[in-house]
Structure 1
Amino acid sequence: MSHSEVKGPVYYQEDGFLKLNAFIKEVNPSKIFFLVDNNTHRDCLAIFLKKLESPENVEILEIEAGEINKNLETCTGLWNALSELDADRKSLMINIGGGVVTDLGGFVASTFKRGIRYINVPTSLLAMVDASVGGKTGVDLGNLKNQIGVINHAEMVIIDPAFLGTLPQTEMRSGLAEILKHALISSETYWNKVTNLSELTLDDLDEIIKESVEIKAKVVTEDPEEHGLRKTLNYGHTLGHAIESYFLTHSEKTTLLHGEAIAVGMILATYLSKELQDFPEDKLKEITVKILDIYDRVVFSEEDIQQIIDLMKYDKKNSHGNINFVLLKDIGNPVIDCKVPNQLIWNAFEYYKKA
């Protein structure tokens, strides 16, 4: 896949920093704004600034880390800061962080003065393989994930797995869920490769990240506006997002990381695939075992399940009041826009409890 096909090309390691410095020389932005959160300010910014050839005319904007801050209030704060710091149409924004920073930073840049250029530097595994590619930007509206946003591509995405050295294990696992999803919708070979984790070294990770990004980039290039194929990237997300939102907004619940919620969503979706698409039962068992090996089991009460089902109707993928699922006929063979009766969703949770 050549870079020219993909809007917002993706570059790796040193190549990325060379491209970035060349881009800055060529475009000559009036000012460069770095958006970081408190974690990436501490762990990543200094590493990044060392790679920059001309770090003058630079401003640093910091937000609080965490999904809970991915909202319009944070955006308003940033729009005000940009105005006060004399940002203009020729300014450049560089987002250094996980999915919250890249999603929100992309949205702030895309809407400030009707759009300034931005670059994403994802520092979490999740953002590398998911949030940074495809031009989806946005924020949450209350407990509804990514309700407000636009599709607008970064000038480039720079992926440097060196940043992963600063990530806690739980965050690595969270990112792995998106890699597992890419595998389930694309190929059994890739699924087998990414689930043999006992042998995963950082070098393997480089290769797996590249492969995962390519799977996503290929889908997004063919269907940028999500009319068909791009919907397959929502595998496990219809229920997964509802589970994540539910746990995020109920203070008595332990908040789940995105990947932890999506892991549950993928088991539920695979069970539904067996019921509605004749997905092979032995593979359902294998997927369930492999996912539960990596992620802790989440406990759901009847009331939790009811509220999660209610939340699904706000999912952006729905139309005309129907909840649309992506299901699998087999690994690597997804089917979009599947209608699922509520009773089957209850059965899927029952299956998950007993698995």
Structure 2
Amino acid sequence: MNEANYLVNPVFYGSESYSNINQYIEDKKPSSVFILVDTNTQQNCLGLFLKNITTELQIEVIEIEPGEENKHIETCTGVWSALSELGADRKSLMINLGGGVVTDLGGFVASTFKRGIPFINVPTTLLSMVDASVGGKTGVDLGNLKNQVGVIVQAELVVVDSKYLQTLSSREMRSGLAEILKHGLIADESYWNRMSNLSSLDLSDLDTIIEHSVNIKSEIVSQDPYERSIRKNLNFGHTLGHAVESFYLTNSEKDKLLHGEAIAIGMILESYLSSEILNFPQKKLRDISKIIIDLFGFTDISTEDLNQIISLLKHDKKNSNGQVNFVLLKDIAVPELDVIVPEELIFKSFDFYNSLNTTNH
């Protein structure tokens, strides 16, 4: 088996897929099993999960506070300490049951505890099903800077059960939709067209939508697990989106944005940059902008905030030699890597975004 294929975790779908976890536990015989949850998944998801697990092993549950603001090293220290106090050893298994914060942080905790114990991801939000739980990226934020500390380590397997989505608010569902739209924009125009016409997600379509998105991501990751080349395509909308998200996360006067809401803004900004630098078609820029604003609404980003947002770009993980590197689009499903964007154009992209406030409302 070559290195690339080996590095993509197997993903199983639906309520039958718990048998894969039970089989894994039976085959690998871990010494103990730990489930990482946050307060929300402890309340809404843990019961459904445990009902499907048949092991005789004792299962310990470790709970963290929910939300991106808790995705930091202090939370990891708490989980490492809990594992240690509860007698975890190198043969223990960690199961991360939750959204992107739980799978990112839990994967990082597992892959560093005693130099690495195996972990399984069971994503419970749309965002983590189509993005965070798949592909091996783990990690935490450093202050308000997103995902600055982490490692790329694959989960043993991922179980996607869309029943968990019944516990989500429509806002959380929309947040996950941003990553699905991104997959269409970078890889599959017909998928983009189909997804952008959904005024509301029909739950019966959801399983095939999630699977299609995971396949797009897995296909890219299998070719480039460590993000040396084409895996960077998955960062479309994230260079500016993460800067916007970080700014709103740490500015107490602002309402926090969910990850998908910030990425939606980033996709409009970076589609504008694509039109300026790579001649991305104007009509498609207008279509993307309208679809995203219709879905996510408009966030007021004032001129005074821009300098702070743009200064956060300097810490983006994709930078090299002091240059901010963008993934932009020549067309839908035709991404271009490592595009250097002059700072004045970045300011103009925010002018363009702000102009949508009057034209769409």
The letter of the residue matching 1:207 is: T
Confirm or deny that 1:58 pairs with 2:47: no
Residue aligning to 1:13:
14
- Retained in 1: the 8 A contact 2:7–2:154? no
Structure 1, 29-38 or 194-203: larger mean CA deviation: 194-203
Q: CA deviation at 1:200?
A: 3.5
Structure 1, 96-105 or 301-310: larger mean CA deviation: 301-310
The letter of the residue matching 1:305 is: L
Confirm or deny that 1:320 pairs with 2:321: yes
1:115-148: CA deviation from partner (whole Å, max 9, x where unpaired): 0000000000000000011100000000110000
Residue aligning to 2:189:
188
Residue aligning to 1:75:
76
Residue aligning to 2:342:
341
1 CA distance for matches of 2:251 and 2:56? Answer: 43
Q: CA deviation at 1:5?
A: 5.8
**Structure 2 counterparts to residues 112-191 of structure 1, below 5 A:** 112-191=113-192
Q: CA deviation at 1:54?
A: 1.7
SS at match of 1:298: coil
Residue aligning to 1:271:
272
Residue aligning to 1:220:
221
2 CA distance for matches of 1:94 and 1:300? Answer: 39
- Retained in 1: the 8 A contact 2:7–2:225? no
The letter of the residue matching 1:92 is: L
2 CA distance for matches of 1:341 and 1:55? Answer: 59
The letter of the residue matching 1:302 is: T
Q: CA deviation at 1:7?
A: 2.3
The letter of the residue matching 1:256 is: L
SS at match of 1:197: coil
SS at match of 1:231: helix
**Structure 2 counterparts to residues 279-298 of structure 1, below 5 A:** 279-298=280-299
TM-score (norm 1): 0.98
1:235-275: CA deviation from partner (whole Å, max 9, x where unpaired): 00000000000000110111000001000000000000000
Q: What is the aligned-residue RMSD (CA, Å)?
A: 1.0
Tell me which stretches of 4 or more aligned residues in structure 1 moved more than 4 Å.
Answer: none
Residue aligning to 1:230:
231
2 CA distance for matches of 1:319 and 1:199? Answer: 40
Q: CA deviation at 1:196?
A: 1.3
1:135-173: CA deviation from partner (whole Å, max 9, x where unpaired): 000000001100000000000000000100000111000
- Retained in 1: the 8 A contact 2:217–2:234? yes
Q: CA deviation at 1:199?
A: 6.3
Q: CA deviation at 1:13?
A: 1.3
2 CA distance for matches of 1:277 and 1:48? Answer: 47
TM-score (norm 2): 0.96
SS at match of 1:7: coil
- Retained in 1: the 8 A contact 2:34–2:59? yes
- Retained in 1: the 8 A contact 2:62–2:79? yes
- Retained in 1: the 8 A contact 2:273–2:349? yes
Q: CA deviation at 1:15?
A: 3.5
Structure 1 residues 351 and 167, CA, compared in 2 at 3 Å: closer, same or farther? Answer: same
Residue aligning to 1:307:
308
Residue aligning to 1:245:
246
SS at match of 1:61: strand
The letter of the residue matching 1:291 is: I
2 CA distance for matches of 1:98 and 1:199? Answer: 21
SS at match of 1:309: helix
SS at match of 1:327: strand
SS at match of 2:256: coil
Q: CA deviation at 1:49?
A: 0.3
The letter of the residue matching 2:219 is: K
The letter of the residue matching 1:279 is: F
What is the number of equivalent residue pairs in this alignment? 352
Structure 1, 224-233 or 196-205: larger mean CA deviation: 196-205
